[in-house]
Amino acid sequence: MITEIDLNGDVIKLNPAQAEMANQILNEDLSLKDNDIKQFIFMGGFRSGKSFLFQFITFLLCLKYAGLRVIYVRKTYDQLKDSVIKQFRDDFEKYNQFNYVESSKEGSRIAKFNNGSSIVFRAFDHDTNILSAEYDLACVCQIEDIQEELYKQLFGRLSGSVMPKAFLMGEGNPKGNWVKRTFYDLTDEEKKEKKIFFLNSPTTANLDNLPEDYLETLKSQYSERDFKRWAMGDWQNLYGLVFSEFSENIHVIPPIRFDDIGSGEKILIGGDYGWRNPSAFLWGVKTYDDDIIIFDEFYKTECLPEELARENKRYGTFTTVMDFAIKRPDRDGKSLWDTLVKLGLRLVESNKDEMNNIVTVNSLFKQRRLFICSNCVNLIWEIKNYKFKEQRIGAESNLDETPVDKDNHAIDALLYLIQAILTRRSVSEYEKAERKSLKAKTVKRENVGIINYG
């Protein structure tokens, strides 16, 4: 296992996280490891050694494989010039293996190696597109800062054949954007399927290479939230996330049995309709302890009213809170609302005060009074990725309090449901009787009563 590398008498010692990543990429002879991983993503706290490691690996591979073509990317030219290029030249130019050539006329910045390898440095505020060439390796500094489309362009340029495989390395800090969705949120199985190796490392992994008071200085300067994000590499409660009080470790609980819900506890359904976008139903219960549990979900596109009605009544007929927009009649004068009512649903109009509803949900998360069963996978995914519109860099106006209207179908159902369940006073005798009859008529099947839909 690689823990240190001798470079012309300079012994480079790797911290534990650097060593873990390096051993996924390199063999002990510093050749490329024979595995099928195509993306190596190294995220985490400040000064955890991420950028140095990937620059070091890039340098080593350029020496090992003559004629290697590398593209090294950062979002802006100033960042590229002052951090990426400067750090690379400061750390490796002394070994006399390359010449750095810059042409303001052609807009090129290239490290040309003695063996024919080259590193092209690009920034996307100056360089409006990626050079039309094939590359063996793409490296991205602060990958969370670039647009997802640029990341896809980079990946699409990896068709070189100098090494056994072409691949991408990306590093940066936690951010609640496409990077979180594309890498951090994936299960181990999904990472394996997509050929991704992801590593998240706190600043503490690199303390041997930092001033003694570095961590204490961060603690004294940052709020607890910022310290967790920027020093510990924490992806929870990122700025910009709408449900900033949500924590998967706290608020997601195992599935529960419907038969274990008492007949006196309040059950409601929140619903949001879509055709090309998913229709969503959420089943929620307010317990005797005044907690709210979302215990099941339905989430599907292109559903006819009959299917919606059938799924809605999987546990019996409970009041469903939906957007009054579905009362709008079509060209035949009929509305989806009327159709669903005729099919046996009990519908009430939702409260559409979005920001007030969001504040209420965050308050419940903070008080640990709102919980979501783990089988509600679509709702959990939407909550973890629902963001406010980002403020333009340099803007001095107040932060935008408008969420991005995307991937929020289960969330809309949640907002409708929570406001209704909090304002509803009691369970009707009809619903008590309905639930008792449901228990008597429960369809016998494997895993009887276990709620595991969605």
Residue-wise pLDDT tens digits, 188-217: 999 999 999 999 999 999 988 888 888 898
List the structure tokens of 319. Answer: 């009041």
Of residues 42 and 424, the one with the higher pLDDT is: 42
User: Is residue 164 scored above 60 in pLDDT?
Assistant: yes
CA angle 169-115-136, nearest 5°? 30
pTM of the model: 0.61
Predicted local confidence at residue 428, as pLDDT: 52
User: Is residue 442 scored above 70 in pLDDT?
Assistant: no
Report the distance separating Cα 393 and Cα 391, nearest Å: 6
Mean pLDDT of 86-90: 95
Q: How far is CA 72 from the centre of its chain?
A: 24
CATH 3.90.79.10 fits 4-221, yes or no: no
b/e burial code for range 331-344 (CB count within 10 A of at least 16 → b): eeeebbbebbeeee
Of residues 266 and 392, the one with the higher pLDDT is: 266
Mean pLDDT of 43-62: 96
List the structure tokens of 151. Answer: 């990341």
pLDDT classification of 449: cutoffs 50, 70, 90: very low
Mean of pLDDT over the chain: 86
Predicted local confidence at residue 339, as pLDDT: 95
Q: Where are the domains of the chain?
A: 4-221, 248-391+400-424
Q: Model confidence over 31-45: pLDDT tens digits?
A: 999 999 999 999 999
Query: Which segment of 97-106, 252-261, 281-290, 415-424 scores lowest on mean pLDDT?
Result: 97-106
User: Is residue 432 scored above 60 in pLDDT?
Assistant: no
Q: How far is CA 160 from the centre of its chain?
A: 30
Q: Model confidence over 132-154: pLDDT tens digits?
A: 678 999 999 999 988 888 898 88
Q: What DSSP letter does each residue of 167-216 carry, written as one string?
A: EEEEEE---TTHHIIIIITS-HHHHHHTTEEEEEE-GGGGGGGS-TTHHH
Q: Which of 269, 260, 248 is nearest to 288 (CA)?
A: 260
List Cα–Cα distances, 410 to 281, 383, 386, in angstroms. 7, 9, 11
- Cβ contacts of residue 171 below 8 Å, gap of 6+? 41, 42, 43, 50, 51, 53, 54, 140, 141, 142, 143
User: Is residue 447 scored above 50 in pLDDT?
Assistant: no
Q: Model confidence over 348-367: pLDDT tens digits?
A: 999 878 888 888 998 999 89
pLDDT classification of 306: cutoffs 50, 70, 90: very high
pLDDT classification of 446: cutoffs 50, 70, 90: very low
List the structure tokens of 275. Answer: 């055709």
Q: Looking at the domain that runs over 248-391+400-424, which CATH code has it been given?
A: 3.30.420.280
List the structure tokens of 143. Answer: 């990958």
Predicted local confidence at residue 448, as pLDDT: 34
Predicted local confidence at residue 450, as pLDDT: 38
Predicted local confidence at residue 451, as pLDDT: 39
Q: What DSSP letter does each residue of 232-279 carry, written as one string?
A: T---TT-TTBS-TT--HHHHEE---BGGGS-TTSEEEEEEE--SSSPE
Q: Coil, helix or strand for 449?
A: coil
Of residues 346 and 156, the one with the higher pLDDT is: 346
Of residues 52 and 8, the one with the higher pLDDT is: 52
User: Is residue 277 scored above 50 in pLDDT?
Assistant: yes
Predicted local confidence at residue 264, as pLDDT: 65
Q: Which of 368, 370, 452 is nearest to 411 (CA)?
A: 370
List the structure tokens of 235. Answer: 């992806």
Backbone conformation region of residue 206, classed left if phi is above 0, alpha if psi is from -120 to 50, else beta: alpha
The pLDDT > 70 percentage for the chain reads 86
Predicted local confidence at residue 105, as pLDDT: 63
pLDDT classification of 128: cutoffs 50, 70, 90: low
Q: Model confidence over 358-409: pLDDT tens digits?
A: 889 989 998 999 999 999 999 999 998 888 766 443 344 444 456 776 789 9
Q: Which of 171, 151, 169, 141 is nearest to 76 (CA)?
A: 141
Q: Which of 204, 146, 195, 144 is nearest to 171 (CA)?
A: 144
Q: Model confidence over 244-260: pLDDT tens digits?
A: 788 888 899 999 989 88
User: Is residue 130 scored above 80 in pLDDT?
Assistant: no
User: Is residue 61 scored above 60 in pLDDT?
Assistant: yes
Mean pLDDT of 120-125: 84
List the structure tokens of 405. Answer: 């209207």
Q: What are phi and psi of 432, to 5 degrees?
A: -60, -45
